[in-house]
Amino acid sequence: MDSYAEIINQKLEEKVCLKSKRSPKAKIAIPSIASIDPKVIDRVFLGDYQKILNKVPNSSIDLICVDPPYNMKKADWDTFDSDSDFLEFTKKWIKDIDPKLKPGGAFYIFNTPRNCSYILGFLESLGYEFQNWITWNKKDGFSSTKKKFLPEQETILYMVKPGGTITFNSEQVRIPYESTERIEAAKKKGIIKNGKRWFPNEAGRLCPDVWTISSDRHVNKIAGRTSKADHPTIKPLALIERIVLASSNPGDVVLDIFAGSGTTLVAAAKNDRKFIGIDSNEGYVKIAQKRIKELK
């Protein structure tokens, strides 16, 4: 069996051949939201994502945000026979949803740093443009090993499909300043920076590529709660809202084919975006539907 590194190298060697398959300069007609089957908008579906995607026109999705399997072998849906099987699975779902994203649309993928090293290369081979390797410091780790550093972070790849206008609302995702005393003083007199007097933005500083947001598991642990979460890898709403606010606008369509308990869909609905959610687990779909209903 090929090693993980050999598999990755083999895939990256395909990059030169695949790169020519999409021309960033090619003009593509962009469908309006009205062209999407209204029966799939603002709903979460159970089953095969491909059947739902067949009702979604190409180049009609503004933002894709997915938290796919990591091959961590923590559950049946996250277990593969080999690294090769996992990478082929990942390659397939990426290729399946790729046509649905608009040129200029954002593609966010959660995964381990190791897996993201492959995913990044594969997306670039399809013509995607790298924007950020975001480190989510979740303050909580799954591993109990004493043979290496405890992993308390996950990677979020932020990629953009070429050929269109990129949406990035930096002002919507500013981070509050940590030193309130220094900032209050700076508001009055300013801070000398590069020979110029600078006054801090009331909304905070621009968002960096390291996001310190406690996982729900960590929050529950600190609060002394012992009940298990509805989903083993549920993401904090604040984390997904940052993505939705930064890379989409009100009325845009957000797609998540690994919707789980529906955090991406809730973040979209809460901020006046449309959404399409799909998951293969009936229990998670019911949870997602309940969360969405509670927003109304």
Confidence check: pLDDT of 293 > 90: yes
Confidence check: pLDDT of 244 > 90: yes
Give residue-wise pLDDT tens across range 89-119. 999 999 999 999 999 999 999 999 999 999 9
> Quick check: 32 and 74 in contact, CB under 8 A?
no
pLDDT of residue 73: 82
pLDDT of residue 29: 64
> Quick check: 163 and 25 in contact, CB under 8 A?
yes
Give CA separation, 32 vs 91, 159, 223, 243, 251, in Å.
Answer: 28, 22, 46, 22, 11
Structural domains in the chain (count)? 1
Q: Is 201 helix (H, G, I), strand (E, B) or coil?
A: coil
| 94 domain-assigned | yes
Give residue-wise pLDDT tens across range 28-74. 667 667 779 999 999 999 999 999 999 999 999 999 999 999 998 87
Hey, CA dihedral for 150, 66, 124, 210, is it positive or negative? negative
Own/partner long-range contacts of 37-41 (Cβ < 8 Å, ≥24 apart):
40/276, 41/253, 41/274, 41/275, 41/276
CATH number of the domain enclosing 161: 3.40.50.150
**272 vs 16 pLDDT, higher one:** 272
| 130 domain-assigned | yes
Mention every residue, 6+ apart, whose C-beta is less than 8 A from residue 116: 109, 133, 155, 157
Confidence check: pLDDT of 225 > 60: no
| 204 domain-assigned | no
| 260 domain-assigned | yes
Look up the domain containing 282 and give its range: 35-167+209-295
pLDDT of residue 150: 85
pLDDT of residue 232: 60
| 22 domain-assigned | no
Confidence check: pLDDT of 237 > 60: yes
| 10 domain-assigned | no
| 26 domain-assigned | no
| 172 domain-assigned | no
pLDDT of residue 219: 45
User: How many whole angstroms separate alpha carbon 284 and alpha carbon 259?
Assistant: 8
Confidence check: pLDDT of 141 > 90: no
Give residue-wise pLDDT tens across range 168-217. 999 999 998 887 656 666 665 666 566 566 677 888 899 999 999 997 65
Q: Which amino acid is at 235?
A: K
Q: Is 64 helix (H, G, I), strand (E, B) or coil?
A: strand
- Give the helix ranges, DSSP H, for the chain: 4-13, 15-19, 49-53, 83-97, 113-125, 180-189, 216-223, 237-247, 263-270, 282-295
pTM here is 0.84
